[in-house]
């Protein structure tokens, strides 16, 4: 079964600084990968998903971007952080074989923009 | 677009009692999957139970069971014999079955915060 690794677990960044969150997958190949954001006490908002290397679909136009340079690597970036980018970021993976079994989630990154 | 609605922002239950969390969804698909996830204070997402739309039988996992009403697009979660460890945020989620690899993103409800009173 697959494992999703995310780091860092916690991040405090000043407004206007760049951001790079990394998600890596272990135990499977060619997964669909997803970035979600969760505001405090709220649900999960889909930001980006990728079905393969270099293939990125954006759900919400915003200050963030995503890239998939390798099959098992998914990166969330920003050139200049805004206060509104604060939140809890979750990476998730999903494979064809796991359809119906639900996503595998990473442990998340808590981002605070100050 | 598919949407998932959880109309109960907060619920509370006495330990050992039963509680039901509500979820409705909107889709034009006939085949899809539904899930309940638990998110404790650690914020790790934990799969509680899942249901395949083509199966009429309601899923059960130990103390957790669902009431799946396909025509009504309703998918409620029943927790029996509630325990203190059940206290968490619970999310209802939907994903379509077909169209792999595209359009298989999971849509979540806003969540229900469950408190268990000792």
Does the beta carbon of A32 lie under 8 angstroms from any beta carbon of chain B?
Answer: yes
Q: Please name the residue that has the structure tokens 């298989």.
A: B104
pLDDT in tens, A80-95: 999 999 999 999 999 8
Q: pLDDT by residue for chain B (118 residues), tens digit each?
A: 679 999 999 999 999 999 999 999 999 988 899 999 999 999 999 999 999 999 989 999 999 999 999 999 999 999 999 999 999 999 999 998 877 777 778 999 999 999 999 9
Which of A54, A102, A109 should we substitute to test contact with B (largest number of B Cβ atoms within 10 Å)? A102
Phi, psi angle pair for A97, to nearest 5°: -70, -25
Does the beta carbon of B64 lie under 8 angstroms from any beta carbon of chain A?
Answer: no
Amino acid A61: pLDDT: 63
In terms of Cα–Cα distance, which of A111, A32, A103, A31 is closest to A64?
A: A111
Residues on chain A touching B106 (C-beta within 8 angstroms): 34, 46, 92, 94, 102-103
Residues on chain B touching A101 (C-beta within 8 angstroms): 47, 50
- Shortest distance between the Cα of A50 and any Cα of chain B, in A, equals 9
In terms of Cα–Cα distance, which of B58, B75, B83 is closest to B21?
A: B75
Which of B45, B54, B95 should we substitute to test contact with A (largest number of A Cβ atoms within 10 Å)? B45
The more confident residue out of B96 and A106 is: A106
Amino acid B79: pLDDT: 98
For residue A43, what are its two tokens? Answer: 């649900």
Write the residue in B35, B97, B109 that is nearest to A43 by C-beta. B109
pLDDT in tens, A10-59: 999 999 999 999 999 999 989 999 999 998 777 899 999 999 999 999 88
């Amino acid at each position: 079964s697959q494992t999703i690794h995310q780091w860092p677990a916690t991040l405090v960044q000043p407004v206007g600084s760049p951001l790079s969150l990394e998600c890596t997958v272990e135990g499977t190949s060619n997964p669909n990968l997803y970035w979600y954001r969760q505001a405090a006490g709220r649900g999960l908002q889909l930001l980006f998903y990728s079905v393969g290397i270099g293939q990125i679909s954006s759900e919400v136009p915003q200050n963030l971007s995503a890239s998939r340079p390798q099959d098992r690597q998914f990166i969330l970036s920003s050139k200049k952080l805004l206060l509104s980018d604060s939140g809890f970021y979750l990476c998730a993976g999903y494979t064809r074989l796991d359809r119906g079994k639900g996503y595998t989630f990473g442990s998340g990154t808590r981002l605070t923009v100050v | 677009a598919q949407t998932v609605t959880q109309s109960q922002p907060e619920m509370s239950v006495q330990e050992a009692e039963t509680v039901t969390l509500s979820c409705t969804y909107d889709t034009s698909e006939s085949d899809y999957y539904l899930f309940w996830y638990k998110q404790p204070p650690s914020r790790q997402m934990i799969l509680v139970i899942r249901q395949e739309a083509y199966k009429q039988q309601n899923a059960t996992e130990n103390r957790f069971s669902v009431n799946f009403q396909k025509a009504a697009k309703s998918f409620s979660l029943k927790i029996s014999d509630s325990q203190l460890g059940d206290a968490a945020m619970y999310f209802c989620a939907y994903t379509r079955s077909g169209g792999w690899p595209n359009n298989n993103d999971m849509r979540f409800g806003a969540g229900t915060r469950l408190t268990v009173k000792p």
